[in-house]
Every structure is written in C-alpha cells, then in structure tokens.
Amino acid sequence: NFQIGGKLLVHLSEKKCNGPNASSPSSSGESIVHEPPRQLGYWPEMLRDAVEDSRVESVVFHSDCAQGDSLRFCDELRRRLLEIDPGNKFSFGREVASITVDEASGRVSGVVEANGVSHKADVVVVCSGAHSGKLLAGVGVTAPVYPLRGYSITVPVRKDVGGYGRALQQQPYCVVAPFTLYVTPMTNPDRIRFSNFGELAPEIPRDSRKMGNPGGNPKLFQRLEEMVRYVCPSVDSALDMNGAVKWVGERPLTPDCYPIVGGCRIPGLFLNTGHSFNGWRDCAYTAQLTAECVKDGSNSPLRKSEVELLFSIERFKFIRNIK
C-alpha cells in the first residue's frame, strides 16, 4: 500500500528561530524567503504563520518519494505466504526469553518463551530488533545492537475542519529543519504523526509497555509538543492535540548503522537484526541473504562478496568477546 505523495523539506531561518532546539544565529547574509508554492496544498498552509513572519527560508519538494503502511505490508506478506503454503504457521503475542543450545553438539536446539514454554528447532533466526543483543548474550554471542529511542505523538484530525482536515491526509510527508521535525500524514483513521529525537538509553522494560505506559522521558514528549506548536502555531485549528497518542520506539542500532546478517559461531543460529531506522527499506534484501545462509546450512557469516561482508558479525571483531 505505497503512495507516491512526495516529500516536502521546509527550512526555517536559523536567524529567526528561537523555539525548542533552536540553532545559533547564522553568520551568513540576509535569508531569502520563498513562500511555499500553492500547488503543494495544505502543508504550507499549516506553516502560514512561519511564512508571515519570514521564518521560512526555503522549501524543496521531492515528487518521487513514497510512503506506506508497514502494518498493512506485513499483513499482506502473511497472506501471500499462506497462499504459497497453507502449512506456514504464525504465532503472535509471544515473547521469547532465551535461546537453547545442545550441550553435546554445540548446535542451536530451540527457544524458550517467557511463560516457560519451550520449542525445538533445527534453525533459529534472531530478528528481534533492539532486544536481539540481550537474547544472543544468553548463549555467549555478543552482537552490538543497542536501542535508539525515537519519540512520536500521533494526533487525530479534528472532525469539524471539513475539507481542510481531509486535505491534510493527501499531502506529502514533511520534514522541518533545523529541528528535524518529521510530519507524517496517516489514514484509517485520519491522523498526523509528529516525531523527533534519537536517545541512547537502556531498553524500556516490557512490563511497563503492557501497562499502557509508553516509557521514555516525559520531558522529551513535552519538548516535542512544544516544537510542534512553535513550528505550526495554528495546529489546534486542524488537529485534536488533546487526543494525542504518545509512543516511544526503539531502533536496533549498530555502531556503523548497518544490519548484522548471517551465521555466527553456533551452528544453526542466524542473525538478521540491527537495521536501525532502515528496517523497512532493507528488509527484503537482508531476508533474502538470511534465507540463502539457512538454505546452505552453513554458519559462515555470509558468502564472501564485497557487499555482503558489510553485514557480517565478523566486522565487529575489534569489540571484546565478539563471536
């Protein structure tokens, strides 16, 4: 469900920005202010206050950028896999607590759920996002995958704004500099998502998630909302800010921002993790590499091509105890 709606890059003048995360004044000459083109629709309208007080320095529109719904993508992928083989099985809502290894052979033997239920397996692929490092550490494999927190608030479009609110959903994804504030239109139901920040912090306890607490730093949520109101002072005329839903996501970050793909020292144990903020972009390619490794039945990291060695866990040998 991809839509080529384009991407709008709006840069506010550093000279006139005094809001959250404002940069120091530029030493360059007077900014050239370009009023956003009318054909781009209502996103520039949301920034009309910035235009009127000459905060908009430049606007760039990339017409070929696309966006989509990752949940619908995964649902469709599941449906097609079942079409190919109705015997394929999916289990949702399960939490894997540990990986098991056969003591005699040294080969992976399965996984154990948090509720104590164990599952036997000839092959285990670890693709558990920011939780991957903790799982692998349990069997003596050190994978440098760290949670990089990203903060977002998802706000419903007001039902009483008529065509203006509906038009918001049809406009491009927007990035506002120098704040790097991401503004993303969403549908079903009509919402706008604002996101920002990258915070290196410990993994959020899963129990707190189950209690409805998004986790993270409350001050950063407050700062994000302040940033939204500073960039779009008229936001309340189109969005129900009181209905905002807060969320903290944990990007699985590696030191070089490339994923870790392939086998490790334990036969039958494979990795496909550490994609950082490029998981959806890279998932099909790294899934293909992982499938080829599993099919070959080899625990060598990857086929020895120049590109594929970029993803091997062996590139982190300089880290103590990497295996």
**Can you list the alpha helix ranges (DSSP code H) found in the chain?**
42-46, 48-52, 70-84, 132-137, 163-168, 206-210, 218-231, 279-296
CATH of residue 166: 3.30.9
Q: Do 46 and 124 have their domain in common?
A: no
Q: Do residues 234 and 109 share a domain?
A: no
What's the pTM? 0.80
- Would the pLDDT of 201 be above 70? yes
81 in any annotated domain: no
Q: Are residues 282 and 165 in the same domain?
A: no
77 found inside a domain:
no
Q: Comparing 86 with 36, which gets the higher pLDDT?
A: 86
Q: CA 264, CA 270: separation in Å to the nearest integer?
A: 6
CATH of the domain at 278: 3.50.50.60
Q: What digits encode the pLDDT tens for the residues 58-106?
A: 778 777 777 778 888 899 999 999 999 999 999 998 999 999 999 999 9
Residue with the bigger pLDDT between 47 and 213: it is 213
Same domain for 234 and 168: yes
Summarised one tens digit per residue, pLDDT across range 278-321 is 898 899 999 998 998 898 876 655 556 655 678 989 888 877 65
Q: Is residue 321 part of a domain?
A: no
Strand partners, 297: none
Helix (H, G, I), strand (E, B) or coil at 174: strand
Same domain, 165 and 182: yes
Count structural domains, the chain: 2
Please give the Cα distance from 169 to 172 (Å, whole number): 8
**Torsion angles phi and psi, residue 241, rounded to 5:** -65, -25
Kindly give the pairing relationship between strand 181-186 and strand 118-120. unpaired
Q: How far is residue 75 from each of residues 5, 71, 90, 116, 273, measured CA to CA in Å?
A: 22, 6, 11, 28, 20
- Do residue 52 and residue 193 come from a single domain? yes
Query: Which of 234, 252, 270 is a domain's end point?
Result: 252
